[in-house]
Amino acid sequence: MRMNANYDPRGKGSLKKLFKALKPYSFIIALSFLFTIVSVVVSVLAPNVLSDLTDEITKNAGTKSIDMKKILDFGIVLIAFYATNAICHFGANFILTTVSQKYSRGIRSAISKKINIVPLKYFDSHQLGDTMSIVTNDVDTIGQSMDQGLGMIFYAVTMLIAVLVAMFVTCWQMALTVLIMLPLMLVITGIIFKFAMPQFKKNQQYLGDLNGCAEENYTGQTVIQAFNAGEKMTADFETKNKRMRWGVFKGQTIAGFIQPAMTFISYFAYAAVCVVGGLLMNDGNKVSFGTITAFLVYINLFQNPISQLAQAINSMQMASAAAVRVYDFLESEELSDERGKEYKLLGNGEIKGDVEFKNVRFGYSPDKIIIPDFSAKVKAGMKVAIVGPTGAGKTTLVNLLMRFYELDGGDITIDGVSIKDMPREEVHDIFGMVLQDTWMFEGTIRENILFSKDGVADEKLEDILKEAGISHYVHTLPGGLDYYIENESGISGGQKQLITIARAMAENSPLLILDEATSNVDTRTEELIQTAMDKLTEGRTSFVIAHRLSTIKNADLILVMQGGNIVEQGNHESLLALNGFYANLYNSQFANE
């Protein structure tokens, strides 16, 4: 997957969207900031009490007449200040953690809603593992960054302002001494972030690529083992993993210089304050040991917010990198809103099943047109077989019929009504569908067959099992229809195919689509399914995509496709008599018979 080089502008825009989404939590965030302000105020006042305590001890230490009651009073005040600081700090963090978790839940809910309304072509161009990484890792990164970064930024800025005010009020000469160190701190921090931020942004993409590779390895494990490609796939994973590991190491190492650099500069500040404080004491200024002690605490309070501010900006930059990916998904193209559309056929009388393709044009991308100009008329009740070599456009035609993809030109009508004028839900209800790729979910056999269908009696379900040729198999399972499928590994491909065929029978839709429905069954089972299919398609318009031409001999109409166009059409006998493309396909399959 290619890296997106244009991160910065989009990152800023994504952060704006993140903060905009926090508006519903404005009050509770303000409460958190109030706790932070109280925490900062008591933290800044505490050094003044410590200064008085130090002066009380130094004044009377020589005479050994220290007033322990005063010392105890100062100690109680300090304990009260620091206890208040701890409670308020905890309260602020607790509130922000709660907000970040609710915020993350909101993003996940938005993604969950979005994933059901993005067109299928989105998944044609994005790895499933990368999409899963957006839902999990990127959202977690945003939540953690907002939790740590938002509160830390406010705390650091508030503390810096408060400490600067306190230092100038206490002793402006020593305050200026400390302030001289600020430009150096900012320059070092800026340099470090200049190198660290691009790496953090790359790391989010590396993580998505790594998850995509892991997902492919898990889902394709059977194929990997069958072709002894374990070492190759492991090497590919290791390459991506090393890139991720080096990226994380590089980013964290660069960012890790911040704290040591701040500490190093702080030591100079400590020394400078001690020297300046000593000179001021020597000149008779009103500077005491307590004042110097307070300033040493102020330096620590001053240095920590700068370091925290750097970490917070680092955290928010990581949130920005993750937000780019999340909002790319949330703002990706959606299926058009069809809530205002009314059902045109279902509920308005019986559906006949006349289907017409009118100059259909389609391509998965504008520069690659697969079906340039396709037209055909299918009368109600006809069994239509669609045959042709791989890539001829057979499955694409069915996807267009189901409105999984939108047409680039032309139209498809059912009983004279354009499928564009119908809600997608109505089109999907009109067609029952059995795909070549079987799909089973965790649940009972009964739940897998009935799926979205309610009110099917057990007697009817038994008839469906018999028609699908799966009755004996189901009743040999422990619990029969209530046998629970935890994973698909215990069910063969043919059995899964039979269950999906039974699912289509239970749906009992007016029209039917069978996309290589017998591709995963043996010859004997295929004959049983063919009998069931004949019964199922009786009186229904049905479209059958088949590579095994023996399964469509009894079709009313056979459409022979090549290069996205119909090159021949007719029934089995008439097409063989033409001795054309269909005859060549058929004879190539049955040359040895």
CA distance linking residue 517 with residue 40, whole number of Å:
70
pLDDT at position 413, please?
93
Contacts of 251 (CB under 8 A, 6+ apart): 196, 199, 200, 203
pLDDT tens by residue, 134-151: 888 888 888 888 777 778
Of 266, 251, 255, 253, the C-alpha closest to 185 is 266
Query: Is residue 412's pLDDT more than 90?
Result: yes
Neighbours of 154 (CB within 10 A): 19
Q: Which pair of tokens denotes residue 538?
A: 């009786």
- At which residue do the structure tokens 């890790």 appear? 256
Average pLDDT of the residues in 256-266: 74
In the chain, ranges of CATH 3.40.50.300 domains: 355-589
Q: What's the CA angle centered on 397, arms 393 and 399, to 5 degrees?
A: 120
Do the beta carbons of residue 49 and residue 81 sit within 8 Å?
A: yes
pLDDT tens by residue, 348-386: 777 888 999 899 888 887 778 888 888 888 898 888 888
Angle between helix 493-507 and 458-467 (nearest 10): 130
pLDDT tens by residue, 326-350: 888 888 888 887 877 888 888 777 7
Of 406, 410, 399, the C-alpha closest to 358 is 410
- Per DSSP (E only), the strands in 318-448 are 355-365, 368-378, 383-387, 409-414, 417-418, 431-434, 443-444
Q: Is 485 helix (H, G, I), strand (E, B) or coil?
A: strand
Band (399; pLDDT cuts 50, 70, 90) = confident
CA distance linking residue 38 with residue 41, whole number of Å:
5
In terms of average pLDDT, the best of 174-178, 367-371, 582-586 is 582-586
In the chain, ranges of CATH 1.20.1560.10 domains: 12-330
pLDDT at position 468, please?
79
Is the pTM above the cut of 0.95?
A: no
Band (519; pLDDT cuts 50, 70, 90) = low
Contacts of 121 (CB under 8 A, 6+ apart): 364, 405
Contacts of 410 (CB under 8 A, 6+ apart): 357, 358, 359, 360, 361, 373, 374, 375
- What CATH class is the domain 355-589? alpha beta
Average pLDDT of the residues in 483-504: 78
CATH H-level superfamily of 12-330: ABC transporter type 1, transmembrane domain (1.20.1560.10)
Q: What are phi and psi of 363, to 5 degrees?
A: -150, 145
